[in-house]
Structure 1
Amino acid sequence: MAKLIFRYGAMGSSKTANALMVRYNYYERDKKVVLLKPRCEDRDGAKVIKSRIGLEEPCEFAEDFLENYSGEHYDCIIVDEVQFLAPEIIDRLSDLVDTYGITVICYGLRTDFQSHLFPGAQRLMELADDIEQIRTICWCGKRAHFNARLLNGEMVTEGEQVQLGGNESYISLCRKHYKQRKIEG
């Protein structure tokens, strides 16, 4: 049974590594799978998905894939960095589940550095058949689900919602330390 699945987690929770491992599981069973990501996500190159631990695979842009999709069979579509997709694109991904019986597994952040939902993540929270949290920990050892943006080693709370970056720009914190703006012990 095809489903729309949203797997979310804070920065550093291994979302991309998980997406690439799931893709490999389908691939080694001779299933047809495609990796997608938003066009705006170009940190590791235009059409590549790369995890922090070094796993990487070629991908397509979600927007282009959906624009050109003509009904071909896929066993699974895996989308990384889904928070950056517009709600209309999320709706179109849900149409692939409902119309073509394709499982779509989406990976991304739920909230931004101000703890507000990204529009793509909000739409997934509204539409997804299954919602799963991928957990990571704060520097203190508690569960982290807040993404703190850093500038010159300090937490910032103002700025554009989307700013691409990795470990140099973001850290995952528990609620207590996010509220306290305390990024280390």
Structure 2
Amino acid sequence: MAKLYFYYSAMNAGKTTTLLQSAYNYRERGMRVAILTPKLDFRAGSGTVASRIGLQAEGIAFGRDEDLHRILEADIAEHGKLDCVLVDEAQFLTKAQVWQLSEVVDQLRIPVLCYGLRTDFRGELFEGSQYLLAWADELQEIKTICHSGKKATMNLRVDEGGRAVQDGPQVEIGGNERYVSVSRAEFKKVMRGEGGIEPLQSPLKF
């Protein structure tokens, strides 16, 4: 039975790597997958999904106003049966788009696997994550570790000096040079100004 899945985590947990591995597994078995990726994240090039360990694949870039159900119906009409839909950076989905993906599951009977962050740099839910948490059939956390050794569940946006940035737009595209995953305790500490975080240096995508 097709289901809507949400795989969530903090930064640097390997979400995109896991997505690309899932795509490979399906294709290795002769199945066809569609990878959806938001247009606003173009660090690897529009429509390209790339992980920080060097894996990448081409996907379908979409904007916030586009109907994902219709995009996938058109893809099926042109290329044939789809066995799975994979969504990168699912936190950037709109409420309407999460609903559209649920329709892909319920009407087209295609499993949809979404991968994304749960919360932003202020500890607040992204729109896409909020409705995936509410409507997904299955939720699974992809775990990563804080520098303190505890499980990382929060995301810090930092400046060049490792100081937490507490104001600004919710969406600001960046990788290891701008974001660090930390435990809740470390998040509170840094947000109080009691310490800094040295950003990881990597040109690749989280």
Tell me, in whole angstroms, the C-alpha distance in 1 between the residues paired with 2:139 and 2:53: 25
Are 1:13 and 2:16 counterparts? no
Partner of 1:179: 188
Say if 1:177 and 1:183, in contact at 8 Å, map to a contact too: no
Task: Describe the superposition over 1:79-105 as per-residue Cα deviations: whole angstroms up to 9, x where unpaired.
Answer: 000101111011001100000100000
Partner of 1:157: 166
| Structure 1 residues 180 and 104, CA gap change in structure 2 (3 angstroms) | same
Partner of 1:42: 42
Instruction: Give the letter aligned to residue 176 of structure 1.
Output: A
Task: Describe the superposition over 1:118-170 as per-residue Cα deviations: whole angstroms up to 9, x where unpaired.
Answer: 00000101100000000000001100010000112211111100000000000
Instruction: Give the letter aligned to residue 162 of structure 1.
Output: V
Tell me, in whole angstroms, the C-alpha distance in 1 between the residues paired with 2:56 and 2:196: 29
Tell me, in whole angstroms, the C-alpha distance in 1 between the residues paired with 2:71 and 2:20: 23
**1:183: Cα distance to partner?**
4.3
Look up the SS of the partner of 1:151 in the other structure.
coil
Look up the SS of the partner of 1:98 in the other structure.
helix
**1:74: Cα distance to partner?**
1.1
Partner of 2:114: 106
**Unaligned ranges ≥5, structure 2:** 199-206
Which stretches of structure 1, 4 residues or more, deviate above 4 A after TM superposition?
Answer: none
| Partner of residue 115 from structure 1, selected from 93, 114, 123 | 123
**1:171: Cα distance to partner?**
0.2
Q: Among all aligned residue pairs of Structure 1 and Structure 2, give the percentage whose two residues are the same amino acid.
A: 43
Q: TM-score, normalised by structure 1?
A: 0.95
Return the structure number with greater strand share. Answer: 1
Task: Describe the superposition over 1:41-96 as per-residue Cα deviations: whole angstroms up to 9, x where unpaired.
Answer: 11111010000000000000244754433373211000000101111011001100
Tell me, in whole angstroms, the C-alpha distance in 2 between the residues paired with 1:36 and 1:151: 30
Partner of 1:169: 178
Partner of 2:143: 135
Instruction: Give the letter aligned to residue 109 of structure 1.
Output: L
Look up the SS of the partner of 1:137 in the other structure.
coil
Tell me, in whole angstroms, the C-alpha distance in 2 between the residues paired with 1:30 and 1:51: 23
User: How many corresponding residue pairs?
Assistant: 185
Tell me, in whole angstroms, the C-alpha distance in 2 between the residues paired with 1:69 and 1:79: 12
Tell me, in whole angstroms, the C-alpha distance in 2 between the residues paired with 1:184 and 1:151: 9
| Structure 1 residues 46 and 84, CA gap change in structure 2 (3 angstroms) | same
